[in-house]
Structure 1
Amino acid sequence: MDRIDELEVFIAILEAGSLSGAARRLRRSPPSVTRSLAALEERVGARLVERTTRRLAATDAGLRLADSARRVLADYQDAVREEDSAELRGKLRITAPHVFGRRHVTPAIIAFLDLHPALQVEMVFHDRNLDFIEHGIDLAVRIGPLPDTGMVARKVGEVTRVLVASPDYLARRGAPATPQELEGHDVIYNSGLGNNTEWRFRDQVVRLTPRLSVNEIDAMLMAVLAGRGIGRPLSYQVADQLASGALQRLLVAYELAPVPVQLVLPSARHMPPRLRACFDFLLEKLSALPVLSPF
């Protein structure tokens, strides 16, 4: 008996409330249902059901497994249906950093959904890399190097962390010529990147005493655009403002090397057609973004 079959039997037991009821529902013998449950409990290493006065009920371990089992079975059924049909259906859960997700992933996903009306997509924006299994993620857009975990990754471009200020600020305070001169300037610091108030450059680290600290990028950019100090966003976050002259780029010679923007999958094995189609679509759309070209 395969493991998908074991999960189907387990869910049937919970829904029927008894081994015999599950056997009737599945048109199997009661002993085969009993053996399937015993094999699954042995594999899990915990009792999954307990008998009450009238019926079987899931233990805490059984309830946790039931939630996961229903998702696995639903994905399996969706994948099988997709193989037999030209129409993609089912649900995908995709994560991306806040700003990049809003500005670039969302428009691409809207276009993708227009092509596949039977599909559903849930977008989860977070600047922390969410765990695929813990958060039920199918596909991720990630900025920066990845740990060597065996995940599947395709680079769509790269971005650079840049130092910027408004012309108004620079007219009043002047532009720093070296990173060390930042100590005499007003700094707008994004505390969402960590608690260490410092900026690293190619060959030095500058300790900061921020004039203003905020925990998200839009607030930091608002203060910088208002002429309140110098900020350090990623290049794609200020590409339009740099092009228009609303912000100016500083200390270019000291910038760190660019970092990759990548589409990431936990594995390429047994990829449902809907996930393959979404991956290929995002790969094409994101790779064409001018903001991910060499800056």
Structure 2
Amino acid sequence: MHSSSADKNPAPRPAVGPAAVDPRRLRADDLRYLLAVARTGRLVAAADALGVDHTTVSRRIAALEKSLGLRLMERGTEGWTLTDAGKTVSENARAIEDALARVVDAVSGQDTPSLRGTVRVSAPDGFGTVITTPALARVRRHHPGLHVELVTATRQLTLHASGFDLALAIGRPAGSRLVTEHLTDYALGLYASDEYLARCGSPKSTADLREHALIFYIESMLQVGDLDIERHLPGVAPAFSSTNVFAQLEATRVGAGIGVLPAFLARRAQLRRLLPDEVDIRLPITLAVRREAVTQATVRAVRDAMHHEVADRVAELLPG
């Protein structure tokens, strides 16, 4: 997520401390501003979601902190994050969003309540685009009042619980303040185009890969330990590298070399699988949710949709 001048220089936060809280001084609408910043991690992004100026967001949260006598948010390396008190407040504040949604459904005459609000999902580039997107589209069809945001980047799952409601990440986090579960495994293998194989020949063993151009991630910029090529193909270094799996896929398709690619991407591009008995990499996808968002109906709907999607597409993710 990109920072902005507004986020770097927010309005001064009030000096707050424990105090008796007068419920009459609380403005319930201020809680919506807290939820928006908690969800996005950015003042400007929260302001866009609420249809107001970022200074309004900062002012309303400052007023809420003053009324409660508690610090609710703090500036982190990746944006604004909730304090422990802020997490407690936001967990209870979600009931207000749910109540507003029920009011809208009631006056619109809907028999079946439709989910409303915004849910932000973070996922790796390839998995997010090909697997997550159809699941999110299905949720939107059932709940047209729901706004869905998908942020894609192949990086280590950050454990600061900021900037997303639900995250999908490669690997299993070791210790986390997030609620995590194993979603699925997926397979990677060696793939090449017919044109490349006709021009350069096909490797007969992994030792032959040293004579070919390998396509994979940029080692020095890799943020996911499970994708370290040395773990899977010791002594083989990529000749064509990219931080984006779709660039790797395209480079393989046009004959730049042999790609180490997810099966669910390579098969769609009609690439040839090489050395399947020797190179069959299986990696886990972890589903993580911020603790304060676990009981949120929108998050539960997306989680359920992801489980249904991977169950329906196991043959693509883990081909026999």
Structure 1 residue corresponding to 2:307, chosen from 280, 283, 288: 283
Distance 2:28 2:144 in 1: 33
Residue 101 to residue 198, structure 1, CA distance change in 2 (3 Å) = closer
Displacement of 1:74 in angstroms is 6.1
Structure 1 gap ranges (5+): 13-35, 47-62
Residue 279 to residue 82, structure 1, CA distance change in 2 (3 Å) = farther
Structure 2 residue corresponding to 1:122, chosen from 116, 135, 149: 149
Q: Give the greater-gyration-radius structure (CA).
A: 1
Is 2:133 the counterpart of 1:106? yes
* Residue aligning to 1:292: 317
Displacement of 1:169 in angstroms is 1.7
Distance 1:264 1:118 in 2: 24
**Matched AA of 1:199:** I
Count of aligned positions: 247
Is 2:232 the counterpart of 1:213? no
TM-score between both structures, scaled by the size of structure 2? 0.62
Counting only pairs closer than 5 Å after superposition, residues 1-295 of structure 1 correspond to structure 2 as 8=26, 37=66, 40=69, 72=90, 75-81=94-100, 86-129=113-156, 131=158, 133=160, 135-149=162-176, 151-191=178-218, 194=222, 199-200=229-230, 205-208=234-237, 210=239, 212-241=240-269, 246-255=270-279, 257-267=281-291, 271-289=295-313, 290-295=315-320
Displacement of 1:150 in angstroms is 5.7
**Matched AA of 2:318:** S
**Matched AA of 2:249:** L
**Once the two structures are aligned, what percentage of the paired residues are identical?**
24
Structure 2 gap ranges (5+): 1-18, 31-64, 75-79, 106-112
Deviations 1:227-285 (A, max 9, x none): 221111122221223xxxx3221222332541122332233876122222222122212
TM-score between both structures, scaled by the size of structure 1? 0.67
Residue 293 to residue 231, structure 1, CA distance change in 2 (3 Å) = closer
**Residues 158, 294 of structure 1: 8 Å contact kept:** no
**Matched AA of 2:152:** F
Distance 1:181 1:277 in 2: 47
Alignment RMSD? 4.1
Deviations 1:4-23 (A, max 9, x none): 969947997xxxxxxxxxxx
* Residue aligning to 1:32: none
